[in-house]
């Protein structure tokens, strides 16, 4: 189901107009780009290939949108609608939707580190799903790292499981999986996560009717 929706989304993005855009950096320097083609990592490459290798995530304030699929997007963590005028986290490989102000974040930045830990939690979640068939519940980053709560029924984890979990996570890491971002309606999200009662509860409780939410796919994991 995810792949079907993702292909439909790709078709919609392909139909959006490609226009010349301006990308303004914190120092006032302005780079030229194209809507729905230029990405944060491409801008980083314009500055330095070494910088591009260090980028974890970007923060973007969109000044003039050409088009978007994100109208009505909600954040399940904050339970608030996205502010179209505020700086928001932006995937390093996600194309810009119009003129933007851009901040490029590395692991040495607190928010870059937070994003790295969040992505790491997805790797842990994928490991737990594949190796133990758990239902994932909640897995955010923390100040010092990350965790992923999960439900394993009558089973439980002990320190005897740690090495197997770590080995499986390292295997996933070596695969260099990409993250695919999908914008979903509430009904689509409920159908996508219908086999996980904890995710269904989150969607029902935190996403108002008529709103949207994002899901990410990396390897075999699909998560909010």
Average pLDDT in the 45-57 region?
A: 97
Q: Which domains does the chain have, with CATH numbers?
A: 2-109 (3.10.20.30), 111-223 (3.30.980.10)
**Residue among 61, 23, 64 at smallest CA distance from 44:** 23
Residue 181 has pLDDT above 90, yes or no: yes
Place of tokens 């980083």: 44
d(CA 116, CA 119): 5
d(CA 202, CA 205): 5
Residue 33 has pLDDT above 80, yes or no: yes
**Degrees (nearest 5) of the Cα angle 35, 189, 128?**
100
Average pLDDT in the 97-110 region?
A: 98
Average pLDDT in the 29-35 region?
A: 98
Residue 77 has pLDDT above 90, yes or no: no
């Amino acid at each position: 189901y995810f792949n079907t929706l993702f292909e439909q989304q790709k078709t919609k993005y392909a139909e959006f107009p490609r226009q010349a855009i301006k990308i303004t950096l914190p120092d006032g320097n302005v780079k030229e780009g194209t809507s729905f083609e230029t990405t944060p990592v491409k801008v980083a490459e314009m500055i330095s290939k070494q910088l591009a290798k260090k980028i974890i995530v970007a923060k973007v304030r969109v000044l003039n949108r050409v088009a978007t699929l994100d109208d009505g997007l909600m954040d399940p963590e904050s339970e608030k609608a996205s502010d179209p005028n505020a700086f928001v986290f932006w995937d390093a490989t996600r194309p810009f939707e119009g003129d933007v102000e851009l901040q490029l974040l590395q692991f040495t930045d607190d928010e870059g580190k937070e994003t790295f830990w969040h992505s790491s939690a997805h790797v842990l979640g994928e490991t737990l799903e594949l190796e133990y068939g758990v239902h994932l519940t909640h897995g955010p980053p923390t100040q010092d790292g990350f965790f992923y709560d999960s439900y394993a029924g009558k089973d439980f984890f002990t320190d005897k499981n740690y090495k197997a979990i770590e080995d499986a996570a390292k295997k996933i890491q070596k695969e260099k999986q990409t993250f695919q971002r999908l914008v979903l309606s509430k009904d689509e999200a409920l159908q996508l996560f219908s086999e996980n009662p904890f995710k269904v509860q989150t969607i029902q409780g935190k996403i108002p009717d008529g709103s949207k939410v994002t899901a990410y796919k990396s390897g075999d994991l699909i998560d909010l």
